[in-house]
Structure 1
């Protein structure tokens, strides 16, 4: 593991993600695993707790700040907006995720930029988060723990 992050709430873990080191390319990581407590997915924590009102448009009054997955991905994407000279060397050059482009694309992950990669997994579900707008060409070699997926 390169990094683990959890979002606590009321003595429980509401959300969790890990960045696992890729064997190749060097300096890359994959976002895996990522999880949100099932009973709190999709903003359901806030729906059950009307005291969590934070304002905003009616449809989002209770939900937006309490979506654990959204908050974690927003924080992760914000790292790539920090000036390069202020980042620790341990920040991966690129983060790869396997998932729905319609979901991860909202947080800076790009399906289009991943299409020249060689991967043991379908490129239709492969997205990357990195600085710039290049389309890298590389072979993805995941940690051994992912080989049976």
Structure 2
């Protein structure tokens, strides 16, 4: 029988190694697992969400505090277990997080494929923002109002 994820929930203490294995499998290398470790060590993580199933964690998403604009969050990394990709689980996970941003009034930035993230209710960041990454791949959920339109990511991102 195919694995069907349960509802999204917060990461529980002791699940960190399982998340590292998921990130390594999903991305084919350890960079994203190391990024999450660095974000945790620097206390930049604002929240970690997982999609659990009867077989363990099958999806993961990290929210981190942006350095600038103050109060904004970034979504990265996001991963779904490789054998469950392309079944809508990532879209469901990211979509729930983007809806939370809209409903709570939080600004949430993601760097990625505009075709995917726009299906999850993210929109391209408005003109006038400066970023160390290409703005054509920078999307936002929630309000984009700020007096400081410069995106500065947590140091763990290496920007």
Q: TM-score, normalised by structure 2?
A: 0.65
Partner of 2:107: 94
Q: Deviations over 1:99-121 (max 9, x none)?
A: 1111101122111x333210000
Instruction: State the SS of the aligned residue for 1:2.
Output: strand
Deviation at 1:71, TM superposition (A): 1.2
The number of residue pairs the alignment matches comes to 115
Corresponding residue for 1:61? none
Higher mean C-alpha deviation, range 23-32 or range 69-78? 69-78
2:133 to 110, 114, 121: 121
Of 108, 120, 145, which residue of structure 2 is paired with 1:107?
Answer: 120
User: For residues 27 and 81 of structure 1, do their structure 2 counterparts lie closer, same or farther at Cα, with a shift above 3 Å needed?
Assistant: closer
Structure 2, unaligned stretches of length 5 or more?
Answer: 1-44
Give the distance between the partners of 2:112 and 2:86, measured in 1 at CA.
Answer: 16
What is the CA–CA distance in structure 2 between the aligned matches of 1:35 and 1:109, rounded to whole Å? 17
Structure 2 CA distance for partners of 1:110 and 1:147, relative to 1, 3 Å = same
The C-alpha deviation readout for 1:16-40, integer Å capped at 9, x for no partner, is: 0010110110000110111111111
Structure 2: how far apart are the matches of 1:136 and 1:106? 28
Alignment RMSD: 2.2
Match of 1:75 among 96, 105, 122: 96
* Structure 1 unmatched runs, 5+: 44-66
Q: Distance in 1 between matches of 2:145 and 2:138?
A: 16
Matches within 5 A, 1:1-149: 1-43=45-87, 67-82=88-103, 87=104, 93-111=106-124, 113-131=125-143, 138-147=149-158
Cα deviation code 1:63-90 (max 9, x no counterpart): xxxx2211111211222453xxxx5xxx
Kept after mapping to 2: 8 A contact 1:19/1:32: yes
Larger radius of gyration: 1
